[in-house]
Structure 1
Amino acid sequence: MRLVLAGTPEVAVPSLRALLASRHDVVGVVTRPDAGAGRGRRSRPSPVRVVAEEHGLPVLAPDHPREPAFVEALAALAPDCVPVVAYGALVPRAAREVPRHGWVNLHFSLLPAWRGAAPVQRAVMAGDDVTGATVFRLEAGMDTGPVLGTMTERVRPRDTAGDLLDRLAVAGAGLLVQVLDALEDGTVHAVPQPDDGVSLAPKLLPADARVDFARPALAVDRQVRGCTPAPGAWTTLTGRRLKLGPVEPVAAVPDGAAPLAPGQVLLVDGAVLVGTGTTPVRLGTVQPEGRAAMPAADWARGARLDPGTVLGDHSPGPAGAPSAAPAAHPADDEDPRA
């Protein structure tokens, strides 16, 4: 089949490379426009665009895929199917109707669980033991289309969202190729998603990544891993932000030490412990504002912490469990997000 891949970030690159190595003919890509990145906010092309240009592929980067000029350019490429991996924009019906096999989306969850922009992060934060990837046909509605194929992946006990997403991106690329092969052969049938088991995975905002040490240690651990590497878990010390790398729950404070209040810091045997609503957690890396990340013990020595130092304000934060209600359609119900 003639394919045009729609994708933007690094997580879409394994799928593009897998398609280029497949029996199909990749005739172009659709990606988001170049965007500012880094401290200087210098404009940079998307990872998908970089790989596409390395292979001499035409690149379509509309400000919005609703633009008539984009729909015309896509039609001129005459794709049989548009596979989608983290494209990041709403796709109107006019664009979805260009390829005869439609747009098929690789989503990193076992739908209908974790519909939305942050399925991997939410799965880690919820403590899921198993997740996976789903290829489904894009339609009106947020990740609601009929399923063409799935795969499962175990969530390892110390996985960050980045670790898990890296594995899913590679394994999911293989699933995507298998589904496209089956579409061409006429051996796959779309199966509607069930009405039960729906959960939502809205985009993580910086407020969702603020650590509330009054929560149990297990919840703090999951939150930090789920927010690593982005948007990055954080807390405050004397009003200044501290970004936290993954933490690790410990059984208890050392013998002879008083129990720690939520957020209270204790330096012991080269480790930095912080109290939670249950047992402490051990800090891994800490990144103060304007500085590089460093081992927690190095940070603690340089910060010259007073006895009884407490991190954060411990008020209930916005990082509770997401709703399990069905997803609302976008304002324009013909524009699912890909």
Structure 2
Amino acid sequence: MRIVFAGTPQPAVPSLLALASSVHELVGVVTRRDAALGRKRVLTPSPVAAAAEKLSVPVIKADRLDDEATSAIEELDADLGVIVAYGGLVRDPLLSMPRHGWINLHFSLLPRWRGAAPVQHALIAGDRTTGASVFRLVPELDAGDVYDEVVYDIPRGQTAGEVLDALADRGAALLRDVVDGIAAGTAVARPQRGEPSFAPKLSLVDGTLDVTAGADALVDRFRGTTPEPGAHLTVEGQRLKVLGAHRGPDLPPAERVPGRIIARGRDILLATADGTVVLTRVQPAGKSAMAATDWWRGLRRDHLDVDHGGVS
């Protein structure tokens, strides 16, 4: 088949490479426009654009699939559209333009966590199992019939970035198999079953670590917002990025003041409502990332209290 691929971030790259190495013809790639990155705001191609250029595949750069992008895609005369984390909606007439329509690789077990940030929301919610699904794209958000899925048991302590990396590889193999099945006429899609839940895009405030919650909930939020949008505490009016954390030992209730940071042996402990979290790596405002022990040593304090109960 002639395939047009739409995707933008790094987790979409394994799928692009899987299709490029398949028996099918990759006739074009759609990705978002170059973005200004870093302190110097250098215009940088998306990971998918960079990979497509190395493959010598024509690239269409568009932040939304408007009339201009639709016309460019129509000229590709694709049999199938494949989308993986593109970052924009596919609507008619583009939705029904390829002969076999569009399919989407989504990083959850649908109908759980429809939306832009399924892995992040799964971890924040404390899910211990997730996966990837390939489904037929329809006008309603992530609601199409599912061709196939792969289940992933989340290892203890993995962050959203690490889970996405794992699902990107597993999902690419799943996607290639579904595409082969569609080409052969053997692929069968089934309606989604169960009550859907939704995973909207996260903002910076979603990374706030609330110490009035329990230690497990705080660690789950840290994992779900790492690396993006980034977990943080507010300490003495400054944002402290938390780059590494895990569940800590219990403290006597008299010593466990929610929001208080103390040192115990080699551990830097953040007390919560029902336990502690070990901070292992942090980044103070205006400084480079460092081990939490080095940060604490430089403070020369017996303890430190998080501002406003940890909510900024």
Could you say which TM-score interval applies, normalised by the shorter chain?
A: over 0.9
TM-score normalised by the chain length of structure 2? 0.97
For 2:304, the equivalent position in structure 1 comes to 309
For 1:333, the equivalent position in structure 2 comes to none
For 1:110, the equivalent position in structure 2 comes to 109
Whole-Å separation in 2 of the counterparts to 1:118 and 1:224: 15
User: Is this contact kept in 2: 1:66–1:95, CA < 8 A?
Assistant: no
Whole-Å separation in 2 of the counterparts to 1:172 and 1:122: 18
Q: CA deviation at 1:75?
A: 1.4
Identify the match of residue 270 of structure 2 among 270, 274, 282.
274
Identify the match of residue 227 of structure 2 among 223, 226, 229.
229
- Unmatched tracts of structure 1, length 5 or more: 318-338
Confirm whether residue 291 of structure 1 aligns to residue 287 of structure 2. yes
User: Is this contact kept in 1: 2:111–2:192, CA < 8 A?
Assistant: yes
Deviations along 1:133-153, one digit per CA (max 9) or x if unpaired, are 000111111111111111111
User: Is this contact kept in 2: 1:4–1:79, CA < 8 A?
Assistant: yes
Instruction: After TM superposition, list the pairs within 5 Å mapping 1:185-224 onto structure 2.
Output: 185-194=184-193, 196-224=194-222
Instruction: After TM superposition, list the pairs within 5 Å mapping 1:69-108 onto structure 2.
Output: 69-108=68-107
Q: Secondary structure at the match of 2:307?
A: coil
Q: Once the two structures are aligned, what percentage of the paired residues are identical? A: 44
Deviations along 1:13-58, one digit per CA (max 9) or x if unpaired, are 0001111111111111000111111112211111111111111111
Q: CA deviation at 1:4?
A: 0.9
- Unmatched tracts of structure 2, length 5 or more: none
Q: Letter of the aligned partner of 1:246 in structure 2?
A: G
Instruction: After TM superposition, list the pairs within 5 Å mapping 1:104-183 onto structure 2.
Output: 104-183=103-182
Q: CA RMSD in A?
A: 1.5
Rate the CA distance shift 1:159–1:119 in 2: closer, same or farther, 3 A.
Answer: same
Deviations along 1:173-223, one digit per CA (max 9) or x if unpaired, are 0000000000011111221112x3311111111111111111100001111
Q: Secondary structure at the match of 1:30?
A: strand
Deviations along 1:96-155, one digit per CA (max 9) or x if unpaired, are 122011110000000000001110011111111211000011111111111111111111
User: Is this contact kept in 1: 2:208–2:311, CA < 8 A?
Assistant: no
User: Is this contact kept in 2: 1:273–1:283, CA < 8 A?
Assistant: yes
User: Is this contact kept in 2: 1:83–1:103, CA < 8 A?
Assistant: yes
Confirm whether residue 260 of structure 1 aligns to residue 259 of structure 2. no
Whole-Å separation in 1 of the counterparts to 2:94 and 2:220: 39
Whole-Å separation in 2 of the counterparts to 1:247 and 1:183: 44
Q: Letter of the aligned partner of 1:18 in structure 2?
A: A
Q: CA deviation at 1:312?
A: 2.9
Give structure 1 regions of 4+ aligned residues with deviation exceeding 4 angstroms: none
Q: CA deviation at 1:252?
A: 1.3
Whole-Å separation in 1 of the counterparts to 2:151 and 2:64: 33
Whole-Å separation in 2 of the counterparts to 1:173 and 1:152: 13
Q: CA deviation at 1:167?
A: 0.3
The alignment of Structure 1 onto Structure 2 pairs a total of residues equal to 312
TM-score normalised by the chain length of structure 1? 0.89
Whole-Å separation in 1 of the counterparts to 2:258 and 2:204: 21
Q: Secondary structure at the match of 2:93?
A: helix
Q: Letter of the aligned partner of 2:10 in structure 1?
A: E
Q: Letter of the aligned partner of 1:212 in structure 2?
A: D
Q: Secondary structure at the match of 1:283?
A: strand
